């Protein structure tokens, strides 16, 4: 049935571009329930202006979503006229992944965060592309499991330097085994060594830098939001 075909194609394109339901709905200017209902097969009329908006964000047309078997051409890149979001929403440029690559969501920490908590949708930037064999084979992950973040500052030198790109596995949030994590520490998103503070009377997380010039500090576990463990990094030469 058309509804199941739309759901499958929509989910496929969302996965390739690293969109969550909320992020896609926000950037297309439609309600969260509209995207969710299509994915669950509950939408009786998935066509119309709203579907065109969603398709434009995904770099295709509504027809591509409704009739993927008729419109898909793997020998070329699919394109659509970009959708212009309402004035109160940021403009988003979407690039379809080249053959053999998948899009991983990029968290633009330079967008800034206060002490209000970690809200991912506010930080989503243009996705970064990685070889599909590396993501699915080496890391045994799907693009939606991963996040790309740019390291800022000198606190993790010499291991990680300012401007390095790290790949974070959001499935790995347990700090039973210490490691390098990206986390919200109550004030902002940081990339640090993280471990449990076993000598504390209350559940506490100890956060440490690689650079000895930066002191370690402890944060109550309830204030910490673990984004994921760092599994890869890249550096400009």
pLDDT at 142: 86
Query: What b/e readout covers 79-110, taking b as 16+ CB neighbours within 10 angstroms?
Result: ebeebebeeeeeebebebbeeebbbbbbbebe
Q: How many CA atoms lie within 13 A of 227 on its CB side?
A: 31
Residue 3 CA, chain-centre distance (Å), reads 26
Q: Give residue 42's pLDDT.
A: 76
* Residue-level pLDDT at 9: 86
Q: Where are the domains of the chain?
A: 5-66, 94-234
Q: Sign (positive/negative) of CA torsion 139, 123, 98, 48?
A: positive
**Which has more confidence, 81 or 54?**
54
Q: Mean pLDDT throughout 187-216?
A: 91
CATH hierarchy code of domain 94-234: 2.10.109.10
Q: Answer yes or no: is pLDDT of 90 > 60.
A: no
- Rounded to whole angstroms, the maximal C-alpha distance in the chain is 63
Residues with Cβ < 8 Å from 137, sequence gap 6 or more? Answer: none
Q: What is the DSSP letter of 92?
A: -
* pLDDT tens digits along 121-163: 566 677 788 998 999 999 998 888 889 998 888 999 999 999 8
Tokens representing 178? 């210490």
CA angle 174, 177, 183 (to 5 degrees): 45
Backbone dihedral region for residue 186 (phi beyond 0: left; psi -120 to 50: alpha; all else: beta)? left
Is this prediction's pTM over 0.85?
A: no
202 backbone φψ class: left, alpha, beta (φ>0; ψ -120 to 50): beta
Task: Pick 5-66's CATH classification: 1.10.3720.10, 1.10.10.10, 1.10.260.40, 1.20.1060.10.
Answer: 1.10.260.40
pLDDT at 92: 43
What is the C-alpha R_g of the chain?
20
């Amino acid at each position: 049935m058309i509804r199941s075909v739309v759901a499958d194609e929509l989910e496929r394109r969302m996965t390739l571009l690293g969109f969550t339901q909320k992020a896609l709905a926000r950037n297309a200017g439609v309600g969260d329930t509209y995207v969710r209902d299509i994915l669950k097969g509950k939408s009786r009329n998935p066509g119309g202006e709203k579907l065109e908006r969603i398709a434009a964000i995904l770099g295709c047309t509504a027809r591509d979503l409704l009739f993927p078997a008729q419109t898909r051409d793997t020998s070329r890149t699919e394109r659509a006229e970009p959708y212009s979001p309402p004035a109160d929403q940021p403009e988003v440029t979407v690039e379809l992944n080249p053959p053999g690559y998948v899009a991983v969501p990029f968290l633009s920490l330079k967008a800034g965060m206060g002490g209000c908590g970690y809200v991912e949708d506010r930080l989503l930037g243009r996705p970064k592309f990685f070889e599909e064999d590396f993501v699915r084979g080496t890391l045994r992950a799907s693009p939606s499991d991963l996040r790309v973040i740019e390291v800022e500052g000198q606190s993790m030198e010499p291991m990680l330097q300012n401007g390095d790109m790290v790949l974070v596995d959001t499935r790995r949030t347990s700090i039973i085994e210490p490691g390098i994590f990206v986390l919200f520490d109550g004030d902002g998103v940081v990339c640090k060594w993280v471990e449990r503070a076993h000598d504390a009377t209350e559940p506490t997380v100890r956060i440490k830098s690689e650079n000895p010039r930066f002191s370690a500090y402890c944060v109550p576990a309830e204030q910490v939001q673990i984004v994921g463990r760092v599994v890869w990094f890249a550096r400009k030469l």
